[in-house]
Amino acid sequence: MKKQQYVLSAIALILCIALYIGGKTVPDKTAATAHTEGDGHDHSAESPQKIDFKSILAAAKATITPNQSQRLTALENSVTRGDVKEQQIHAFHEMARFWLDSARKFELYAYYTSEAAKLENSEKSLTFAARLFLDRLMMSGDPAMQTWLANNAKVLLENALKINPANDSSRIGLGSCYLFGNISSNPMEGINMIRQVVEKNPGNVYGQMMLALGGKKSGQYDKAIERFLLIVQKEPNNIEAVFHIAECYDLKGDKPNAIVYYEKAKQLVKIPQAKEELNNRIMELKK
């Protein structure tokens, strides 16, 4: 990897962490398989090694304390004992809280939240659980984990769309599963889902962001910049879009414009370490 890519990855990672803490996410530079926004061909690497729930659970259990293990066993037993739907829903939520608060394993928190959502079968619960997987998908750099996350989100969003077929956010999310989750040999399957929404409503920021990220990952920087700029026109303080514009210009070798947008990103970001990394990159570009 070139020095430039190392620097950009470091900045992206810091911003990713900062935005994730604040409720938004920025994909890292390996967060998605490189798909072309418009050519319909599969540009993915070889199929990732499969990850499943049992392997994730086993790995997580190996890291918890004896007291936590005892607590977990009691919770697992409560799931199997639940003889009515409401009891099972409650048990799954308890399991989710355990993995989030006590063991700090976000994937398992998302999984058990999704199990409760499937039983509740409301649009709100299904889309909330799906977003947990999607947010993690956009942060993950592991192709196998991306696929696991995308498949889980896909099931939830398909169920949500059965309840409300007109929900554009659910349709965009579903398209993103195909676009970034390595679950299809044809990225156009996901791109078309998102495009249908964006063509109907060009001001849909979520849809524009997903298409822009798809273009960026495939190296179509001009197309990506065009979409990111649409977002910034609508939301001038959208740090995600501003940073991605800067990075696209940087990657295509347009130093003056990269500096302009790194400066904008530096003004918007609140994390001192991120400001420092952005400033360092600006200084490098000015040499």
DSSP 83: -
pLDDT tens digits for range 144-173: 999 999 999 999 999 999 999 999 999 999
pLDDT tens digits for range 13-60: 455 544 443 333 333 333 333 334 444 334 444 445 788 999 999 999
CB 240 within 8 A of CB 26: yes
Q: Where do runs of H (alpha helix) occur along 62-105? A: 66-81, 85-97
Model confidence, pTM? 0.79
Q: How much is the average pLDDT of 3-20?
A: 49
What Cα–Cα distance (Å) separates residue 113 from each residue in 46, 66, 95, 118, 139? 31, 24, 8, 9, 19
CB 245 within 8 A of CB 261: yes
Share of the chain above pLDDT 70, in %: 82
CB 178 within 8 A of CB 158: no
Give pLDDT, residue 38. 46
DSSP 161: H
Q: Which of 176, 182, 255, 174 is nearest to 210 (CA)?
A: 176
| Host H or E run for residue 228 | helix 221-234
**Cα separation, 53 vs 249, whole angstroms:** 39
Share of the chain above pLDDT 90, in %: 68
**Cα separation, 191 vs 39, whole angstroms:** 10
Give pLDDT, residue 287. 87
Q: How much is the average pLDDT of 277-282?
A: 91
HSE toward the beta carbon, residue 30, CA cutoff 13 A: 12
- The yes-or-no verdict on residue 5 having pLDDT over 90 is no
